Structure 1
Amino acid sequence: MVVQTRRRDPRDQAARETLEDYTLRFAPRSYRRWKPSVVATTALGGIAYLADFSIGAGIGLAHGTLNALVAILVAAVIIFVTGLPLAYYGARYNLDLDLITRGAGFGYYGSVLTSVIFGSFTFIFFATEGAIMAQGLQVGLGVPLWLGYLITTLIVIPLVVYGMKALSKLQVWTTPLWLLLMVGPLGYLVVVDPGSVSSWLAFTGESGGGLNAASVMLGAGVALSLMAQIGEQIDYLRFMPPRTEQNRRSWWASVLVAGPGWVLFGAVKQATGAFLAFFIMGVAGAAATEPVQQFTGIYELFLPAWLAIPLAVVLVVLSQVKINVTNAYSGSLAWTNSFTRITRRYPGRIVFVLLNLLVALVLMEANMFAFLNSVLSFYANCAIAWVVVVATDIAVNKYLLGLSPKEPEFRRGMLHAVNPVGVVAFLASAGISIAMYFGAFGAVVQPYSPIAAVLIAAVLTPLLAAVTRGRYYLRRTDDGIAEPRFDADGTPVATTYRCDVCEQDFERPDVLASAVPDTIICSLCVTTDRTGTHVLPAT
C-alpha cells in the first residue's frame, strides 16, 4: 500500500524532470563528467554579452576616460574579491548560488529574497542583450525593432530547454568564431591608428573635468550592477569534477578564470566600449553606445560596407545568443527555486523559462535600453548587498571565525526558515544604499551608495553572526543517515541512496532521513512535501 501511494505522488514526476541538469539539486558526481577546462569554457561562453560595451560607453561619454577607467577598475576589484569565495564554494560542493545562499546566512525561506534579486538580474540583462541584438537586425536586415525583440526572445527557447548538455556544446563550438570577430577588428584599429588611443585617454566627457571621486563612484555603481553575474558563472561551475591531486592545477585555474575571472574580461570589454564610443562619437552621435554601431564603424575601416555590416550583425547575434541562453537558463532556475519552496509545487523549469522570456520581452518593447544606466545603477545596490553578504559569510563566518557551519546545507528541515544574519544584513545594506542613491542623505554622499552597500554588508554579516552566536544557521545537525555527506578531504560522497518517495537514486549530499520511520527522502521531495509529513523535527 505504501508503494502505491508513492507512485501516485506528483513528486515522482517532479524528481524525474529535474534529472536533466539537476534543477534545484546538488549536482552528483555521476553527472559531472566534463573536464575542468570544458566547464570553464562553457561558463566563459556566457560572458560573450555586449552590454559591457554599452556600459563602458555610457560611463566614458558621461564622465571621461580617466574616471571611466578608474571606475571600471574599482568595480572589477570588488567583483573579483567577492566572487572568489562564491566560485570556490559552488565548484567545491557542486551547488548553485541559491542553494549556497540558504546555508550562508539567509535560511531556507529567507533566500527567496535573493532568488528574486537574481531572477530579476537575468531578465533585465536578457532584455538588454535582446535589445542589442534587435538593433543589429535592424541595421543589417531592416527588421523593425518590435519584431527584432520578438525574434531574439523566441530564438533561445529551443536551445535552453535541454540544460547543461546542450549549452556546453553551444558555448564551446561558437567561442572561436566569436573571439575572431571581436578581437580582430580592435587589434587592427589600434595598429593602424595608434593616435586614437592617446586622444581617447585625454577625453574628459560631458563633465569636462579630470579625475573626480564622485564621477568614479557613479561609474563604478553602474559596473557593479554586473556583480550578480557570478550566479550565472556558478550555474556552470557546479558541474566541476571533484578536486583531486591529479587535476588540482587545472581545477583551480578553471575556477579562478571562469569564476571571479569573468570580470577581467568584462572590464576589458567595458574599457573597449568606452574607446569605441569615443572613436565613432562624431559619426554615430547618440547611437555611439550601441555595440552594432561601434563594430560597424570599426569594420568599415578596412572592409566594404556590404561586408562590414553583415559581419557586425553576425557578431552581435552570436554574442546575444551565447549570453541569452545563459540568462534564460539561470533565470528559470532562480524562479523555479523560489516558486517551489513557497508553494511546495514543482511546475517544471520550462514554465519559468517562458515566464522569464515574457518579462524580458515586455522590457524590450518598453525600450529599457534607452535608460539602461539608470536601471543598472538602482539595481546594483540590491545585487551588491546580496553577493557581499554571502561572500562574507563564506570567507569570514565559515572559514575565519567559525561562526557559520563550514559545510553547505540547503535541505528543508535542516535549516531554520529565516536566518537574521543574512536577511538583516542584506536588507540594511540594500535599504540604506538605495536611500543614498535617491538622495535621502544629501547630494554629497549620493554617488557613494555602491561602496556603502559593500561596507554595510561586509561589516554587518560577521557582527550579526557574533551577536546571534550562529544559532540560526542549522535547525538540526543530524540528518538521520549514518554516513557523512563529505569525506575527510571535504569532497561530497558519491554513495547512492534510493528516495522512498520518488523511487530515484541520489548521491549522499542530496538525501536525508524522513520523519516517517525507516524512510529516505531526496531534497526535492522533502521540498514539495505539502503536509510536512517527511520533515524532520528540530533538535
Structure 2
Amino acid sequence: MAIDDAPAAKAPAPPGKEAGARAGETLEDYTLRFAPRSYRRWTPAVVGASALGGIAYMADFSIAAGVGVAHGTVNALLSIGVAAVIIFVTGLPLAFYGARHNIDLDLITRGAGFGYYGSVVTSLVFASFTFIFFATEGSIMAQGLRYALHLPLWIGYLVSTLVIIPLVVYGMKALAKLQSWTNPLWLVLIAAPLVFLLVTEPSTVSHWLSFEGRDHRGVSTAAVMLGAGACLSLIGQIGEQIDYLRFMPPRTEANRRAWWTSVLLAGPGWVFFGALKQAIGVFMAVYVIGAVGSAAAVEPIEQFTGVFERMMPSWLVVPLALVLVVLSQVKINVTNAYSGSLAWTNSFTRVTRHYPGRLVFVLVNLAFSLVLMEADMFSFLNNLLSFYSNCAMAWVVTVATDIGVNKYLLKLSPKEPEFRRGMLYAVNPVGLTSFLASSLGSIAVYFGLFGDGIQPYSPLVAVGVALVATPLMAFATRGRYYLRRRDDGIAEPRTDAEGNPSGTPYTCAVCGEDYERPDMLASAAGGVICSLCLATDRTGTHLLPADPPGRAAA
C-alpha cells in the first residue's frame, strides 16, 4: 500500500484538564505508545526503504576519514569491521523486538531491565545521540554553504537548523515520502564519483590501501580499537531505525520473507551500508590528500568536489556537490529531529506526568544541536564521539543482552515486552546497574585512569562489562524486578494466534478514545485505560495495586 493510503488515526484527547483540541495522532506518531495495527498500513518494503533512507548522513565519511588520516587505511578498515560486527549483533534483537511488537527503543528498554523510570536515563543518552549527530550533519551542510555560497559558518549553522523544522512536523507519513523520493538521486550522487575514480584511475586503490596515516606505524591493535571507538558512536543509530521499523505490518505466512528481509536490512543491516560509506570516506580522504592536501580531507564537501572536478565541467561541480551535501543533511536530520523529539517527550512525560506534545521537543532538540554547532564541535568530532560511544554501547549492549540472554536463554526476563505504567517497577536494578557499571568503567578507561596501555580498549570494556553484568544481575535478583504485576486486568491476550499484537479496540474510560489491546489495561477506578492517560494520571487513581510479594517475578 502506498504511503498516501495509510489511514489517518483518531486524535485522542489527553486526560483530565489537558483534554481539548490538539493535533491528530497522525502528527504525533504514537509518541508514547504502541503503534496500532490500524495505522500500520505500509508494506514491509516501504517501511524498510524509508528506514534505510534515514542513514543518508555524511558523518560516516568524516568519522572514517578522521580515523584513516590518523591511523592509516588498514587500521581504519579493521576499525570499521570491528564496529560493524558489534553493531549488527547487538542491533538484531532490538530491531526484531521493535518490528514484532511495534514499540520504539525506549519502550523496549523499559521492560528489558530498566524499569518504568529507570529508562529515562537511556532516553537522555539517545536524545544526546540525535542532537550530536544533528550538529555533525548541520556542520557539514554549513561547510557546503560556505564553500558554494560563501555564507559565514554561523549563518550556515542557523540555516541548516531552521530548514528542518517544517519538514519534521508531520512525522512518519511525511518522512517516509521524503526518504522514498530522494533515495535514487542521493545514491547516484554518492556512487558516481567512486565509480569514476575506479574506472579512470585504478591506481588510487593501491595508493589507498598502502596509506599509513600520520602514525606511520602499520597495523596496530591499539589504533584499531581507537578507531572502533569513534565508529561505535553510531551504535545508537539502531534507535532511529526502530522509529521506522515499529510501523511494520503484522508478520504473516504471506509476508514472512519480505518482513524478515526488511527487518534485517533496515534494522541491524544498516551497518553494512554504513560500513561501506565509511570505507568510501577513507578512500575519498586519501584521494583528496594526494590531490589538494590533508587540511580538507575530512570535510565531505571537499572530498566530493575533489572528484567532481575530474569528471564534469567546472560550472557543474559546486552546484552538484552542494545538492549532495544538503540532500544528505536533510534526509538524516529530519530523522534526528524526529527521533530526538520522541526521546525527550518520553522522558518529560514520565517524570512530570504532563504531555506537552512532541513538537515542543523538536525545538528543544534543535536548540541543543545549534549550540553544539556554534561551539565548533566539528573540530573535535572524533574525540566527542569516542567519549559518547562508551555510554551508547553500555545502553545498547545491556538491552540486547537482556533480550537475547535473560529472556530467551535464562528465561529470567519476561519475553513479551512491557512498557505500561503500573505493570513495571519504577527501577529495575538489572539493566540500570549493568548500564552504569559498563559506561562508568569504560569512561574511566577512556580517560586513562587505569593506565595508557589499556586506554584504547574502552569499547571492549563497555561491551564486555554490559555483556557479563546483565545476566549476573538477573541471577542475583532472580528476576524479581521486571514486573510489578503479571496480570493487566483484561482477559484477552495481548497477541493473536500468530503472535502479532492484537488489533481489538477498547475504549479508554478517561479520554473516551479507542485504542488497541496492547496499549490498554484495567483501571483501578473501573473500566480500562490507555497507556498515555495512565502515564499522565497524577493522582494514582487508576493505578492497579502491585502483586503480593513473591508473585511479581518474571
Give the TM-score taking structure 2 as reference length: 0.95
Amino acid paired to 1:80: F
Query: What corresponds to 1:273 in structure 2?
Result: 281
The correspondence for 1:52, drawn from 60, 67, 79, is: 60
Query: What corresponds to 1:128 in structure 2?
Result: 136
Query: What corresponds to 1:190 in structure 2?
Result: 198
> Cα offset for 1:490?
1.9
Kept after mapping to 2: 8 A contact 1:9/1:501: no
Query: What corresponds to 2:253 in structure 1?
Result: 245
The correspondence for 1:103, drawn from 103, 111, 119, is: 111
Kept after mapping to 1: 8 A contact 2:15/2:533: no
Within the alignment, does 1:216 sit opposite 2:224 as a pair? yes
Residues 180-239 of structure 1: CA deviation (Å, up to 9, x unaligned)? 111011111111111111011011111101111000000000000000000000000000
Within the alignment, does 1:382 sit opposite 2:391 as a pair? yes
> Cα offset for 1:6?
9.3
The correspondence for 1:336, drawn from 333, 342, 345, is: 345
The correspondence for 1:80, drawn from 71, 88, 96, is: 88
The correspondence for 2:185, drawn from 172, 177, 189, is: 177
Within the alignment, does 1:414 sit opposite 2:423 as a pair? yes
Query: What corresponds to 2:6 in structure 1?
Result: none
> Cα offset for 1:304?
2.1
Within the alignment, does 1:43 sit opposite 2:62 as a pair? no
Kept after mapping to 2: 8 A contact 1:79/1:263: yes
User: How do 1:388-467 and structure 2 match up within 5 A?
Assistant: 388-467=397-476
Within the alignment, does 1:491 sit opposite 2:478 as a pair? no
The correspondence for 1:150, drawn from 158, 162, 165, is: 158
> Cα offset for 1:400?
1.4
Query: What corresponds to 1:368 in structure 2?
Result: 377
**SS in structure 1 of the partner of residue 506 of structure 2:** strand
CA distance in 2, matches of 1:332, 1:378: 23
> Cα offset for 1:380?
0.3
Kept after mapping to 2: 8 A contact 1:40/1:258: yes
CA distance in 2, matches of 1:203, 1:284: 14
**SS in structure 2 of the partner of residue 506 of structure 1:** strand
Residues 292-350 of structure 1: CA deviation (Å, up to 9, x unaligned)? 00000010011122101110110000000000000000000000000000000011111
**SS in structure 1 of the partner of residue 498 of structure 2:** coil
Amino acid paired to 2:51: A
Kept after mapping to 1: 8 A contact 2:431/2:470: yes
CA distance in 1, matches of 2:262, 2:21: 35
Amino acid paired to 1:343: T
The correspondence for 1:348, drawn from 330, 353, 357, is: 357
Within the alignment, does 1:312 sit opposite 2:321 as a pair? yes
> Cα offset for 1:21?
1.1
The structure-2 alpha-carbon separation of the partners of 1:198 and 1:109, relative to structure 1 and needing over 3 Å to count, comes to: same
Kept after mapping to 1: 8 A contact 2:438/2:463: yes
> Cα offset for 1:266?
0.6
5+ residue gaps, structure 1, are: none
Kept after mapping to 2: 8 A contact 1:12/1:501: no
CA distance in 2, matches of 1:7, 1:427: 35
CA distance in 2, matches of 1:424, 1:132: 37
The correspondence for 1:91, drawn from 83, 89, 99, is: 99
**SS in structure 2 of the partner of residue 512 of structure 1:** strand
**SS in structure 2 of the partner of residue 300 of structure 1:** helix
CA distance in 2, matches of 1:48, 1:196: 25
Amino acid paired to 2:450: F
Kept after mapping to 1: 8 A contact 2:44/2:249: yes
Residues 371-406 of structure 1: CA deviation (Å, up to 9, x unaligned)? 000000000000000000000101111111111000
Amino acid paired to 1:233: Q
> Cα offset for 1:481?
0.6
CA distance in 2, matches of 1:89, 1:284: 47
Amino acid paired to 1:412: R
CA distance in 1, matches of 2:329, 2:343: 21
CA distance in 1, matches of 2:542, 2:22: 17
> Cα offset for 1:466?
1.1
Over the aligned positions, Cα root-mean-square deviation in angstroms equals: 1.3
**SS in structure 1 of the partner of residue 538 of structure 2:** coil
The structure-2 alpha-carbon separation of the partners of 1:12 and 1:450, relative to structure 1 and needing over 3 Å to count, comes to: farther
The structure-2 alpha-carbon separation of the partners of 1:19 and 1:304, relative to structure 1 and needing over 3 Å to count, comes to: closer
Query: What corresponds to 1:22 in structure 2?
Result: 30
Within the alignment, does 1:233 sit opposite 2:241 as a pair? yes
Kept after mapping to 2: 8 A contact 1:11/1:501: no
Query: What corresponds to 1:163 in structure 2?
Result: 171
Kept after mapping to 2: 8 A contact 1:11/1:525: no
CA distance in 2, matches of 1:357, 1:60: 30
Query: What corresponds to 1:261 in structure 2?
Result: 269
Query: What corresponds to 1:515 in structure 2?
Result: 524
Kept after mapping to 2: 8 A contact 1:15/1:524: no
Kept after mapping to 2: 8 A contact 1:178/1:318: yes
Moved more, 389-398 or 281-290: 281-290
Kept after mapping to 2: 8 A contact 1:11/1:528: no
Kept after mapping to 2: 8 A contact 1:17/1:348: no
Percent of matched pairs sharing the same residue: 71
CA distance in 2, matches of 1:11, 1:288: 54
CA distance in 2, matches of 1:116, 1:460: 22
Query: What corresponds to 1:70 in structure 2?
Result: 78
Amino acid paired to 1:438: F
Residues 75-121 of structure 1: CA deviation (Å, up to 9, x unaligned)? 00000000000000100000000000000000000000000000000
Moved more, 212-221 or 143-152: 143-152
**SS in structure 2 of the partner of residue 413 of structure 1:** coil
**SS in structure 1 of the partner of residue 57 of structure 2:** coil
CA distance in 2, matches of 1:442, 1:6: 53
> Cα offset for 1:14?
7.3
Kept after mapping to 2: 8 A contact 1:18/1:24: no
> Cα offset for 1:488?
3.3
Kept after mapping to 2: 8 A contact 1:127/1:361: yes
**SS in structure 2 of the partner of residue 289 of structure 1:** coil
CA distance in 2, matches of 1:13, 1:434: 46
CA distance in 2, matches of 1:312, 1:74: 31
CA distance in 1, matches of 2:28, 2:241: 19
Amino acid paired to 1:37: A
**SS in structure 2 of the partner of residue 9 of structure 1:** helix
